[in-house]
A and B are shown apart, each in its own frame.
Chain A
Amino acid sequence: MNNIKLGVFVLGGLLFLVVLLYMIGINKSMFGGSYILKARFDNVQGLIKGNNVRFAGIQCGTVKNIKIISDTVIEVTMSLDKKMASIIRKNALASIGTEGLVGNKVVNIIPVQGDSEPAAGRDIIASKKMLSTDDLMQTLSRTNDDLAVVVSNLKTTVLRINNSNALWSLLNDNGIPMEVKNTLINFRKATGNAVQITNEVDQLMMDVRNGKGSLGVLLTDTSFATHLDAAVLKIKTVGERADSLALTIHSMASAVQKDMDSGNGAVHALLKDSSIVIKLNKSLENIEKGTQSFSEDMEALKHNFLLRGYFKKQEKKKQAENKKL
């Protein structure tokens, strides 16, 4: 019984040891095959053997070796998980980054768009120069210098503003806000009106476009244009005729004038000869007399026995009509 307990105790301890070593082994990609990829950099920024290699952010291997080829070329040998062999392509880019802001260095392998064969073992993939913390600091220092200049300029500007009496009197004047407010109110009204006007113009333009109103017709109706053309043509011919008419009238008038002046013709007789008036009066008197005697004749005819029946019938008809009304 004691030996069983002892066995369990020992096995427990050994199991933890094995698990510990196995987990570390997995992290160092010791189990399951690995393959080698290389990349060349001009500066590895403190990368050391054993640093992690990531593909698209996934832990996939470690840095196996760092070798100086020449003073500007440093070759980094990476031991990667065999599973990545079919995934990492020849055109992938290697770059050196940092875990967090001040953490360990890592090699990031970034996939690139476009077709390429998977990278075989011992291939050298292209590298990409990344912004190192030193570069960042240098840029920051330049930015700081610029900022110092800007700040000093700002300081003089602020001092000038502080010393300006005009500005302060403007700021201290209590009436100005009220005026500004009124101005704004007016401005708002004006804007409202402008909006209304714009709307109306808009409506008008819409109507015109749709052919409503005379302007619309004028602008949109093509048949109207031809009509107008014809009308103008007619007006023109009419004008021409009127010209000739005026000419004729003119010549006629001048002829009448001549007759009048010379005392010949009917017009002259009508307008200038007084004996004609007397003759005319006499004629009218005669006509009056003639009409009177004709009236008497007609009355005598009514009473004639031959025609009396007819007139009586006419009278009765008239009376019947009056009764009806």
Chain B
Amino acid sequence: MALSKPMGKFLTETGELSRFAGRFFAQWYKPRYELGEFLRQCFIIGYRSLPLVGLTAFIMGLVLTMQLRPSMVEYGVESQLPAIVGIAIVREIGPVITALIFAGKIGSSIGAELGSMKVTEQIDAMEVSGTNPFKYLVVSRVLASVFMLPVLIMLSDAISLYGAWIGVNIHSTTSFALFWTQVFNILSFSDVLPAFVKSFFFGFAVGIIGCFKGYNSSKGTEGVGQSANSAVVVSSIMIFVIDLLAVQVTELLGLN
């Protein structure tokens, strides 16, 4: 096999990541369940991310509305501003922006945490003490990010829409009831459900890549930084790839 070195490295990593993900699927449903650790991780991953996600979501809603307004006014459909902002937030902006912020915060923290545990040989020590480190460290974190990201995305949608309402009210007066009605009149299940389903995949990608990078870090302290960094980069790219796949699948299913 005469592959170039970077290509070979990329394929090796992809294979290792797939194997890692397979190990996760083989183990996550089996006892013993680390419920306490799962809830602790949920708290850290989900609840602690809310302020950051909420702030970005609010600003995104506000800015998106203000940026769209001039074009809408130009076409004479200023009254449709809530509708178009609602569609944009629920379908795309909410899930993707939230997942990217989530990848930046959680991907790096998981990568760094597991990486430092790996290089200080705590993981090996766990194995020796009879605890399954994969279950305790990886499964709990991945499951927590799978279940917390959709919740975060829902909350960020709500906050974004609130920001959008304020954005609409900067130049004109629209009651919250009218804004609400206009947004929900335009939305349909085909807008909400694909976005909701893909957010689980986003969460899984961020969790599994962060854990993989951390779990396989080497070369001491330098390696910790590298795994944290590459966890963020790879999971961000994965989010866009999954987004692309999701839109293709929804198109194929005729939900668009």
Contacts and interface: CB of A to CB of B under 8 A. Distances in A.
Interface in B13-66: 39-40, 42-43, 46-47, 50
Interface in A1-15: 2-3, 5-6, 9-10, 12-14
Nearest to A2: B43
A17 B189 CA distance: 11
Contacts of B50: 9
B151 A3 contact: no
Nearest to B188: A24
Contacts of A17: 150, 154, 192, 196
B39 A3 contact: yes
A28 interface: yes
A288 to B, nearest CB: 138
Contacts of A10: 42, 46, 148, 151
A315 B90 CA distance: 152
Interface string A1-41: 01101100110111011001101110110000000000000
B42 A6 contact: yes
Nearest to A10: B151
B185 A13 contact: no
Interface in B128-186: 148, 150-155, 157-158, 184-185
B187 interface: yes
Contacts of A27: 184-185, 187-188
B47 A13 contact: no
B47 A24 contact: no
Interface in B179-213: 184-185, 187-189, 192, 196
Contacts of A16: 154-155, 157-158
A50 interface: yes
B184 A5 contact: no
A12 B153 CA distance: 11
A13 B154 CA distance: 5
Given A9-B155, A12-B155, A13-B153, 10 more contacts: A2-B39, A2-B47, A9-B151, A10-B42, A16-B155, A17-B150, A20-B154, A20-B157, A21-B189, A25-B189
10 contacts: A6-B46, A9-B155, A13-B155, A16-B154, A16-B158, A17-B192, A20-B184, A20-B192, A24-B184, A25-B189
The 7 closest A-B pairs by CB, nearest first: A13-B151, A13-B154, A23-B184, A16-B154, A16-B158, A2-B43, A9-B47
